[in-house]
Amino acid sequence: MSQLNDKQEQFCQNYVLSRNATKAAKAAGYSEASAYNQGHRLLQEERIKERLKELTNEMITNVDVISEIEKQYEVARNGGHGTTALKALELLSRVRGNNTDVEDKTAESLEADIIGIMQNLGFEQCYLLFEEAFPEQFADDVEDYEEEEDVQLLLTEELTSTTDTEAGSNDDT
């Protein structure tokens, strides 16, 4: 097999990761105007096909995720693709365990978050979500209620009976 030039190798490296010929051609240094055509043309060449097959097999059997993301970061940064570079940094942060967005949540803080979300969604959307999450609880009751007001009444009754039951169980302790 004849050797690929640097642009062709870069194209192959990028194509294996993105599976987008136009993006891979741009990342490899082909002009914006010709990237679509160059990508299509390159995918037709036999030695490119062979190299892509090699790279795919290598990825499947011997992928080093961190170094691949680092390479993509360098390519994106050097190519002036700020959004792609930021995404690569975000992925590196997650892979390396530097995700500071995740915080330990208590049951109380989760409940407060859920209440806030429910208030933003509104009663009707919350009802639909409850119905989707607990279909067995709603199947028989919803058939009896056709009007929206009746459905709201049904949910209020369900919530009241659940709250009363929980309150009663707390009184016993």
Same domain, 111 and 92: no
Buried b / exposed e along 55-86 (16+ C-beta atoms within 10 A): beeeeeeeeeeeebbeebbebbeeeebeebbe
51 and 84 inside one domain: yes
Q: Are residues 13 and 72 in the same domain?
A: yes
Pair (44, 81) in one structural domain: yes
Can you give the residue range of the structural domain that contains 159? 107-171
- Other CB atoms closer than 10 Å to residue 108's CB: what's the count? 8
CB atoms within 10 A of CB 45: 13
36 and 88 within one domain: yes
- Could you give the number of structural domains in the chain? 2
Residue 102 is assigned to a structural domain of this protein: no
Indicate whether 34 and 114 sit together in one domain.
Answer: no
pLDDT digits (tens, 9 = 90+) for 73-107: 888 888 888 888 888 888 777 766 654 444 567 88
Q: Under 8 Å CB-to-CB from 76, ≥6 apart: which residues?
A: 27, 82, 84, 85, 88
The predicted model scores a pTM of: 0.36
Judgement on whether residues 12 and 87 belong to the same structural domain of the protein? yes
pLDDT tens sequence across 121-159: 788 888 888 888 888 876 655 555 555 566 666 666 666
In a domain, 125, yes or no: yes
